[in-house]
């Protein structure tokens, strides 16, 4: 029987053969054996017909088979080496897709910051090492917390970078640091814009348009088991994962529509109004405190310190206060959500996320106003480095408070729930608060890229540590959600919040900095210019003298600086987006109709 199977597979085309082997209810080891026998049979058949084939064609066929075998083996190894793949499967099986979506989002941010670090380090930092002067400042260790002192004369900050054209070899090709700096940052934001749009579209298609979303529970129970799994641990993990998915689907199907009396409705409306009033009051008070502290920060804490390092250490007050507000007020918002008693966990999560995003983005907006309207017009020798130091301290202190939040927010709650107040039980993982912490940290990183090019590398390390700390805290301190619920829209919502208002707000801040603000006279690659963007204008004027570069000048004058071009481009993007949305909606409607016909 096996010989006939091998013979039949050998007569198939390569694509049909691969699909047939994949559909076999056999172990992976058995499938590999069958595949190797089929490839051997195909090779033998090709040798029998070699009388009509040239030697070159036989060699190419053998090489293709060898490369195919090597590719299959390599893909299997890469599949096993995927970062945190096993950890994510365990989290999804134990805690469901709602908690899993947080860790997938965190992993995506780590990858994004790794890409940013590689780009900045390759095109900005490495060339600066060639022209760098020795650092004469002493390292005391306090710089790790303040970002000042020794770090001030390193590639960590904008002010250390030269404005000269770098030549490693005499008469070699020049490297214009001004153009490299602004084009690297600019192209990175363009790529980020495209990545976010693609990720949102991909997430939307996967969670809303994919036909598997409408598959019944019976088919999921009877037809989705992977017969290639033979390891006992993997079998148990697959069972838990499948059980959790079915529970989530059944929760959506059997969702209860609660009916309340008139008195109960009035009480619920009053509770909601009081909760939103409390939210607005705390948010306004927090923003007013940050505004007062930021505008009076230097006068209250920095003046009177003769040593510059001590002055910068005193400036830790602002990031500590901002991080305290961002760390503890969300706990109050979570308590308000529990007080309101929403009908579904999803409503609780989305309301909490809305309140947190308003708080955090408002605080970031006030800090940006302070940096662009107070620090940038001060008499400091290098205001860009001062902004970079402020953002470095905010990122570092926020990371420390995030770690402390795992201790106070989850470990202490577990101790209280298991010893003092047993009726409370173990805490649940607060998705809304933790997701907004990530978005806040990533927003700071995007703002700081212009003033501290290596900040994405620091954030990448902090996110990696947060991943492991949150994973350990989740496994040791938290319980699965009491109400299992399906979160098909959750990852899409995370991407959208990262895009708007976070990324769009950052683009506004970067645009004002590049086009409107005057760079420092004594530091940085844009010293002596009226604005950072003036470096591009000067470069275009230089290119006008070269005939071979006329096309670049034409593109700059007729496209880049043309309002009409961007108006037409925006209109086309909106039209394409609208048509794409209509196609997706039509496909979604068709899938629903087909699903109803199958059920009937």
Residues 419-459: pLDDT tens digits?
A: 877 777 788 888 878 888 999 999 999 999 999 999 999 99
Same domain, 370 and 512: yes
- CA 449 vs. chain centroid, Å, equals 15
Please, which pLDDT band fits residue 397 given cuts at 50, 70 and 90? very high
Same domain, 4 and 152: no
**Cis peptide bond N-terminal to 501, omega within 30:** yes
Structure tokens at 173: 């090709």
pLDDT tens profile 224-264: 666 666 666 666 766 676 766 666 565 555 555 556 677 77
Last residue of a domain, one of 494, 529, 564: 529
Count the Cβ atoms, other than its own, within 10 Å of residue 412: 12
CA 421/CA 408 separation, integer angstroms: 16
Same domain, 30 and 149: no
Please, which pLDDT band fits residue 213 given cuts at 50, 70 and 90? very low
Q: What is the pLDDT of residue 484?
A: 55
**Mean pLDDT of all residues belonging to the chain:** 80
Same domain, 155 and 279: yes
Is-contact 402 109, C-beta < 8 A?
no
Is-contact 102 435, C-beta < 8 A?
yes
Same domain, 21 and 108: no
Same domain, 131 and 29: no
Structural domain includes residue 59: no
- Residue 304: half-sphere exposure toward Cβ, Cα within 13 Å: 7
Same domain, 18 and 159: no
Total residue count of the chain as it appears in this document: 600
Angle (CA) 274-484-258 rounded to 5° is 50
Q: Please name which of 120, 124, 127 lies closest in space to residue 191, comparing C-alpha atoms.
A: 120
Q: Count structural domains, the chain.
A: 2
Residue that wins the pLDDT comparison between 198 and 51? 198
CA 371/CA 359 separation, integer angstroms: 19
Same domain, 159 and 20: no
Structural domain includes residue 537: no
Structure tokens at 477: 């301190």
Q: What is the pLDDT of residue 585?
A: 67
Structure tokens at 497: 């919040």
Last residue of a domain, one of 514, 529, 544: 529
Same domain, 431 and 513: yes
Structural domain includes residue 579: no
Please, which pLDDT band fits residue 302 given cuts at 50, 70 and 90? low
Structural domain includes residue 347: yes
Looking at the chain, the whole-number percentage of residues with pLDDT higher than 90 is 27
Structural domain includes residue 206: yes
Q: Is the pLDDT of residue 574 over 70?
A: yes
Q: What is the pLDDT of residue 182?
A: 94
Please, which pLDDT band fits residue 29 given cuts at 50, 70 and 90? confident
Average pLDDT (60-89) is 65
Q: For residue 505, what are the CA distances in angstroms to 25, 361, 375, 460?
A: 52, 9, 19, 21
Same domain, 25 and 118: no
Structural domain includes residue 290: yes
Q: Please name which of 396, 514, 459, 441 lies closest in space to residue 148, comparing C-alpha atoms.
A: 396
CA 73/CA 75 separation, integer angstroms: 6
Structural domain includes residue 591: no
Is-contact 544 553, C-beta < 8 A?
yes
Q: What is the pLDDT of residue 249?
A: 61
Q: What is the pLDDT of residue 136?
A: 78
Average pLDDT (85-104) is 83
Please, which pLDDT band fits residue 218 given cuts at 50, 70 and 90? low
Q: Is the pLDDT of residue 530 over 80?
A: yes
Q: Which of 44-48, 56-60, 100-104, 581-585 has the lowest mean pLDDT?
A: 56-60
Q: Is the pLDDT of residue 575 over 60?
A: yes
Q: What is the pLDDT of residue 435?
A: 87
Count, in order, helices (H) and strands (E) of the chain. Answer: 24, 2
Looking at the chain, the whole-number percentage of residues with pLDDT higher than 70 is 76
Residues forming beta bridges with residue 176, ordered by sequence position:
165
* One-character DSSP codes across 494-507: HHHHIIIIIIHHHH
Same domain, 464 and 362: yes
Q: What is the pLDDT of residue 576?
A: 80
Residue 37 structural domain = 1-45
Structure tokens at 474: 């989740």
Structural domain includes residue 161: yes
Q: Which of 293-302, 350-359, 475-484 has the lowest mean pLDDT?
A: 293-302
Please, which pLDDT band fits residue 211 given cuts at 50, 70 and 90? very low
CA 239/CA 231 separation, integer angstroms: 12
Same domain, 347 and 477: yes
pLDDT tens profile 472-506: 999 888 887 765 555 556 777 888 888 988 999 99
Count the Cβ atoms, other than its own, within 10 Å of residue 229: 16
Is-contact 108 200, C-beta < 8 A?
no
Reported as type and span, the H/E element at residue 176 is strand 175-176
pLDDT tens profile 101-134: 889 899 999 999 999 999 999 999 998 988 777 7
Last residue of a domain, one of 483, 508, 529: 529
């Amino acid at each position: 029987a096996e010989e006939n199977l091998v013979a039949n597979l050998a007569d198939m085309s390569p694509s049909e053969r691969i699909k047939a082997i994949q559909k076999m209810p056999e172990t992976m080891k058995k499938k590999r054996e069958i595949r190797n026998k089929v490839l051997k049979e195909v090779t033998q058949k090709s040798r029998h017909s070699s009388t009509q084939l040239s030697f070159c064609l036989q060699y190419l066929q053998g090489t293709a088979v060898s490369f195919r075998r090597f590719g299959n083996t390599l893909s299997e190894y890469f599949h096993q080496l995927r970062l945190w793949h096993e950890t994510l499967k365990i989290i999804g099986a134990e805690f469901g897709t709602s908690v899993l979506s947080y860790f997938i989002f965190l992993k995506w941010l780590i990858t994004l910051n790794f890409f940013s670090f590689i780009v900045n380090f390759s095109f900005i930092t490495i060339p600066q090492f060639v022209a760098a002067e020795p650092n004469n400042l002493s390292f005391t260790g306090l710089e790790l917390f303040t970002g000042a002192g020794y770090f001030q004369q390193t590639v960590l900050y904008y002010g250390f970078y030269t404005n000269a054209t770098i030549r490693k070899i005499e008469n070699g090709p020049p490297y214009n640091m001004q153009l490299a700096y602004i084009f690297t940052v600019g192209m990175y934001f363009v790529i980020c814009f495209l990545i976010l749009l693609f990720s949102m579209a991909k997430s939307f298609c996967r969670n809303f348009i994919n036909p598997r979303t409408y598959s019944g529970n019976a088919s999921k129970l009877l037809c989705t088991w992977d017969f290639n799994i033979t390891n006992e641990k993997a079998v148990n993990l697959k069972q838990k994962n499948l059980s959790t998915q079915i529970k989530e689907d059944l929760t959506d199907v059997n969702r209860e529509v609660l009916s309340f009396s008139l008195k109960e409705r009035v009480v619920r409306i009053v509770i909601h109004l009081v909760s939103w009033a409390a939210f607005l009051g705390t948010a306004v008070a927090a923003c007013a405190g940050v505004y007062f502290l930021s505008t009076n920060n230097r006068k209250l804490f920095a003046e009177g310190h003769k040593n510059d390092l001590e002055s910068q250490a005193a400036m830790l007050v602002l990031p500590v206060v901002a991080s305290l507000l961002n760390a503890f007020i969300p706990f109050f918002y979570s308590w308000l959500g529990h007080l309101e008693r929403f009908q579904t966990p999803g409503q609780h999560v989305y309301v909490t996320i809305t309140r947190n995003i308003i708080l955090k983005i408002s605080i970031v907006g006030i800090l940006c106003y302070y940096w662009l309207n107070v620090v940038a017009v001060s008499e400091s020798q290098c205001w860009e480095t001062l902004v970079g130091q402020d953002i470095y301290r905010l990122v570092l202190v926020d990371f420390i408070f995030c770690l402390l939040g795992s201790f106070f927010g989850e470990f202490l709650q577990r101790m209280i729930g298991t010893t003092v107040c047993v009726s409370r039980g173990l805490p649940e993982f607060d998705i809304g608060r933790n997701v907004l912490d990530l978005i806040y940290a990533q927003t700071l990183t995007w703002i700081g890229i212009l003033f501290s090019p290596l900040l994405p590398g620091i954030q990448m390390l902090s996110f990696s540590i947060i991943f492991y700390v949150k994973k350990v805290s989740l496994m040791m301190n938290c319980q699965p959600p009491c109400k299992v619920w399906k979160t098909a829209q959750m990852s899409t919502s995370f991407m959208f919040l990262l895009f708007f208002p976070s990324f769009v707000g950052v683009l506004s801040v970067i645009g004002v900095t590049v086009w409107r603000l005057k760079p420092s006279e004594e530091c940085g690659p844009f010293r002596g210019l009226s604005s950072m963007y003036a470096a591009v204008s000067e470069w275009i004027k230089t290119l006008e003298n070269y005939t071979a570069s006329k096309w670049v000048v034409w593109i700059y004058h007729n496209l880049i600086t043309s309002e009409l071009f961007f108006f037409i481009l925006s209109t086309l993007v909106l039209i394409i987006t609208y048509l794409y949305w209509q196609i997706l909606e039509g496909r979604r409607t068709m899938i629903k109709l087909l699903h109803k016909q199958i059920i009937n």
